[in-house]
Chain A
Amino acid sequence: DAEITQSPRHKITETGRQVTLACHQTWNHNNMFWYRQDLGHGLRLIHYSYGVQDTNKGEVSDGYSVSRSNTEDLPLTLESAASSQTSVYFCASASQGIGNEQFFGPGTRLTVL
């Protein structure tokens, strides 16, 4: 069965360290998204990609970067982790087309000390 996975599921790191969260999907979807979930804010879009070599900034992109070298993966990198980046991170993928259902991964809980 096709799926979308995230790793690690939990991560504790220190301020200033570089952290990379992995996202891998086997749906063969062109569109991939990264969100963060915080209390009172719902899900906010960090970065997204419409295909290989395409990346775009979302509404809360500062301090984050992504790269898309193949269809299956969209890793999210925190260049220099800050306590404000403590959150739950979700990756999602979707086929092209407006309103097409986004399939979400299980999430990564990141704590920055």
Chain B
Amino acid sequence: DQQVKQNSPSLSVQEGRISILNCDYTNSMFDYFLWYKKYPAEGPTFLISISSIKDKNEDGRFTVFLNKSAKHLSLHIVPSQPGDSAVYFCAATGRFNAGGTSYGKLTFGQGTILTVHP
């Protein structure tokens, strides 16, 4: 049961254009979402996050949009650069019970390989 899904295994864009990576989730208890970036032979690194009380968060060239009713989030990279070529994972978390035992646990999507061509 994949609670966080990234349905596009790969995306190819031209340098300078916009990259849009999509992510869908099924668990309505998720209330915080993150994007991680991963280069080959390295661990994932945090990129940007968004709380469910917002519908947009921006950090430089990166913007994350959240549509709670559709249970959908997207990451926009503008303009795309060759150095952005990597695997991008979306992740979700939330407080699932009174004890908060899911506190800090992340559920990841399958990842999308982004290739930015010069």
Contacts and interface: CB of A to CB of B under 8 A. Distances in A.
B36 to A, nearest CB: 8
Interface stretch (B68-76, B77-85, B108-116): B108-116
Given A43-B89, A56-B101, A102 B106 contact: yes
A113 B36 CA distance: 31
A14 interface: no
Given A40-B110, A42-B111, A99-B51, A104 B103 contact: no
A98 B108 contact: no
Contacts of A99: 32, 34, 49, 51, 93
A58 B104 CA distance: 12
A31 interface: yes
Contacts of A107: 41-43
A4 B46 CA distance: 14
Contacts, number: 68
B51 A41 contact: no
Contact of B43 (A44, A45, A90): A90
Interface string A2-34: 001000000000000000000000000001010
A97 B104 contact: yes
B105 interface: yes
Contacts of A48: 104-105
Contacts of B45: 104
Given A98-B95, A99-B32, A104 B44 contact: yes
Contacts of A106: 41-43
Contacts of A66: none
Contacts of B106: 33, 43, 45, 102
Interface in A27-62: 31, 33, 35, 40-45, 48, 50, 56, 58
A94 interface: yes
B19 to A, nearest CB: 19
A59 B50 CA distance: 24
Interface in B1-49: 4, 6, 31-32, 34, 36, 41-46, 49
B117 to A, nearest CB: 23
A96 interface: yes
